[in-house]
A and B are shown apart, each in its own frame.
Chain A
Amino acid sequence: MVQTRMGDGMKIEMSEDEIREDIVRGVEDAVDRAKIDTLPQEEIDYLTDLYTRPSKFVSVEPGNEVVLTFDEGSVKLKRLVISIGRIPDLQIYERVFCSDTAELAHVDYSFKPVKPIIAEEQIEMEQALLSTILPLYYGAMPNLSLYSQPDGEFPNPAELLPKGKIDEAQKAYEGMIEHGIKDMVFVSSKMYEAGADGINFDTTGSAGEPDFLAALRATEKLKEKYPDISIEMGMSNEFVLGMHGDLEYEGTNLAGLYPHEQVKMAEKAGVDVFGPVVNINSSESIPWNIGRTVAMMKACAEEADIPVHANVGMGVGGVPIVETPPADSLCRASVALAEIGKQDGL
């Protein structure tokens, strides 16, 4: 028997056969939902070997390392109740964690609240860029929910939809999209002008496909304005939640798209690096979760023409949904996605 975990982080013991069966079931679930290819037998064998090794920690073979980017880095140490400014935080990411990129972000982590403090954010970015070497993103979430009541002027679709007020909800979303694009372009422009190496639209789609569409349109506008700007787009869910239902981008309905389909939309808009998400099911085992995660991530990477950096953290990418992700699960997810998931980065 081998120790592994449930998606909620609980330690469990499974036999090698049970682990293999769960990996296969996970892959089958991914194939069924996302309508993608299954994994070949040798990759199932590889994952089974990875998840049955008794060692606490595993790593990729030398030469298979990938780029590591960490979203929202500059506020994460503060969350650990460490009294630290954002620039020392970024320097720690560069020099202690040896991250390959870092990200300046405001604690609100949404574009809208950054608007009134944009000058302060620019100064922080300028200062950070003088004393760091690694590429620095400025990141925030499109967070379209902030444009509906009580935080914004539009009626709240999350309240309208359960009441069956579909037309009103759709109209509200359409207004929210326009406001969201304006703020994303405004903030991103200012931060790019301050010298940021790139802009990260993080947790895109959290308010459904209107959120995704707003980020795609904002990307288009930014690329038109600054052809050299680098845009990363990280997702929030494995499929795009259909909250409007009728929103298209380049002739494709955005609702319900899975990672391998999302990345093609991102490419069309001009995104440079794409960050897919596959959610954890906390009631299934980690082997089950890694099977479906790797299958969906690999399909995305194979379909992509741009670098793909999977989200691998609390509750996504084969990592249990706990605030303190255990190293045994995290390192295995990291390795599985680098070596089998064909990721360009994590």
Chain B
Amino acid sequence: MSSELFEQAARSVVDADVEEAKKLANQALEEDIPPLEMIEEGFTSGIVEVGRLFDRGELFLPQLMGCAEAMKEASGILKEAAAAAGEETAEDIEIVLGTVEGDVHDIGKGIVASILEANGIKVHDLGTDVPTNEFIEKAKEVDADVIGTSALLTTTMGANEDLIKTLEEENLRDRFKVVVGGGPVTERWADKIDADGYAENANEAVRVIQDLAN
């Protein structure tokens, strides 16, 4: 019975059906399905599928936002119930995200922000042309887990290296994980500058950030 409910939950997220997702969350509680299991096995499976479809061009950004809303609403109901029952829920991962200084490309970074949010990661989006010190100050302010940077130009990729060096100089390198991405950025470059993670696309960014933060 619960597997059927998990499938329906996943489907409600893929269909961006907010009302159905909320209804299924409440139904799970009525049927005494552990809330966190319902999130993991049901709704999270749905959002993973959403990411897969987006990566293949089968689902688009506006629809993705609807999926994220369904996920957020249903998870909210279940997390509240879990907390009331004394179940320990994982803290939200927080990321400070932006396009590096000198680079004004915002579309790719916006997509990453959307997909991360859809996966329950709290995003502090600093926009574009973000100086290194702004990334660091914001990360300190919100006690972020991860700093994520986007660079779309070969001429601006170097800002990633500046960020890591500055974190080292300020003895903050161990406090924040740094994940880099963007058109010309590669895993080889990420390794070279000693970044903690690299993501080829928005979908991969979710996995990399979750792995690093947990």
Give chain A's interface residues, CB within 8 Å of chain B.
Answer: 6-10, 33, 145, 156, 158-159, 161-162, 164, 166, 169-170, 206-208, 239-246, 255-258, 281-283, 314-315, 321, 323
Contacts and interface: CB of A to CB of B under 8 A. Distances in A.
Given A255-B57, A315-B183, A156 B106 contact: yes
6 contacts: A6-B188, A8-B188, A162-B113, A208-B61, A282-B186, A315-B184
- Which among B110, B117, B187 has the greatest number of chain A C-beta atoms within 10 A? B110
B57 A162 contact: no
B107 A207 contact: yes
Contacts, number: 94
Interface string B13-39: 000000000000000000000000000
Contacts of A281: 200
Interface residues of B, number: 31
A35 to B, nearest CB: 10
A282 B198 CA distance: 11
Contacts of B210: none
A162 B61 CA distance: 9
A243 B154 contact: no
A245 B61 contact: yes
B187 A162 contact: no
Nearest to A237: B57
- Which among A207, A243, A244 has the greatest number of chain B C-beta atoms within 10 A? A243
Given A10-B188, A145-B107, A159-B106, A166 B58 contact: no
Contacts of A243: 60-62, 107
Contacts of B113: 162
Contact of A256 (B60, B65, B66): B60
Contacts of A255: 57, 60
B196 interface: no
- Which among B60, B109, B184 has the greatest number of chain A C-beta atoms within 10 A? B60
Contact of B200 (A159, A170, A258, A282): A282
Given A208-B107, A243-B107, A164 B69 contact: yes
B123 interface: yes
Contacts of B154: 323
A161 B187 contact: no
Closest 9 CB pairs of A and B: A242-B60, A239-B57, A8-B186, A158-B110, A256-B57, A245-B62, A245-B60, A158-B106, A282-B186
A161 B61 contact: yes
- Which among B66, B113, B188 has the greatest number of chain A C-beta atoms within 10 A? B188
A170 B57 contact: no
**DSSP class of A's interface residues: helix, strand, loop or mixed?**
loop
Interface string B183-213: 1101111000000000010000000000000
A162 B127 contact: no
A6 B114 CA distance: 29
Contact of B127 (A159, A240, A321): A159
Nearest to B201: A281
B62 A244 contact: yes
A228 B110 CA distance: 40
A221 to B, nearest CB: 26
A207 B69 CA distance: 24
Given A159-B110, A161-B110, A208-B107, A242 B62 contact: yes
Contacts of B57: 33, 239-242, 255-258
B119 to A, nearest CB: 13
Interface string B37-73: 0000000000000000000111111110110110000
Given A8-B186, A242-B59, A323-B154, A162 B125 contact: yes
Contacts of B63: 242, 245
- Which among B61, B114, B117 has the greatest number of chain A C-beta atoms within 10 A? B61
B200 A321 contact: no
A245 B67 CA distance: 14
Interface string B82-93: 000000000000
A162 B62 contact: no
B13 to A, nearest CB: 15
Contact of A283 (B62, B106, B183, B200): B200
A313 to B, nearest CB: 12
A283 B48 CA distance: 21
Contacts of A282: 186-188, 200
